[in-house]
Amino acid sequence: MLLDASQSQLVLVDYQARLMPAIFEADAVAKNAVRLGKLAQLVDVPVFGTEQNPSKLGENLPDIRALCQRTLAKMHFSGAEEGLGEWLRAPAKAPQGNARSLPKHLQKQQTVEERNTIVIAGCEAHVCLLQTALDLLEDEFEVWVVTDACSSRTERNRDAAFDRLAGAGAELVTTEMVGFEWVRTAEHPRFKDLQALIR
């Protein structure tokens, strides 16, 4: 099973200015988060962010925050506890046409394309990322965790999160895997842009 850009959404979890200095391999993780956001923009994948207790931990790093269409401020460790799942679900559309002109069973229903594949990365992997991803799995989203764009204060906590997420049914991928699966072919009109981002 490969990622499909038309079915994907990207969630960037808690890359906050006051948290990042304590994070293991923070610079590489933040660079990969920025790459992910730029890759998503290349192929029209919506990007959302979360910020844990931003009044204490600050906003996400400016380069990451700028890539997000919306950013959810939260106090729960899981963004799904504070409405992230509703942001990720396609809005229901009302039937089109004059309700008096046709009986309900003949009215044309508007379908909105669901994007049920959530590509997610963030900090801390064993707390906010883990709890958000597990809740999204429970809410019947497909969850793909971008391991080289995730971290914790310690390597052990980060790796424990990956083990638990894989056991719960999340797919573990890297930034490059995501990019190449979203474009699929060297003939994709944005392939050269992708190459420039990953070099």
8: CB partners within 8 A, 6+ apart: 40, 45, 115, 117, 118, 119, 182
Q: How far apart are CA 108 and CA 126, in angstroms?
A: 46
Nearest-angstrom CA–CA distance, 73 and 117: 22
Q: Is 96 within a domain?
A: no
Burial of 175 (0-12, 13-18, 19+ CB in 10 A): buried
Confidence at residue 114, expressed as pLDDT on a 0 to 100 scale: 85
Supply the pTM of this predicted model: 0.89
Residue ranges making up the domain that contains 65: 5-90+110-198
Q: For 159-196, what is each residue's pLDDT tens digit? A: 999 999 999 999 999 999 999 999 999 999 999 999 99
Tokens for 183, please give them.
Answer: 């474009």
Residue 10 DSSP label: E
pLDDT tens per residue, range 55-111: 999 999 999 999 999 999 999 999 999 999 999 997 655 555 555 555 555 555 544
- Can you give the pLDDT at residue 46? 97
- 49 within domain boundaries: yes
Comparing CA positions, the residue from 171, 172, 168, 173 lying closest to residue 138 is 168
Q: Is position 30 within any domain?
A: yes
**Domain holding 193: CATH number?**
3.40.50.850
Please give the pLDDT value at position 72. 98
Give the model confidence (pLDDT) of 103-137 as tens digits: 555 555 544 578 999 999 999 999 999 999 999 99
Residue 105 belongs to a domain: no
Q: What is the mean pLDDT of the chain?
A: 92
Does 49 have pLDDT greater than 60? yes
- Residue 120's alpha-carbon distances to 86, 89, 195, in angstroms, are 16, 15, 21
Does residue 102 sit within a domain? no
Residue 103 located in a structural domain:
no
- How many independent structural domains does the chain possess? 1
In a domain, 100, yes or no: no
CA distance 16 to 3: 27
Do the domain assignments include residue 165?
yes
CA distance 149 to 71: 18
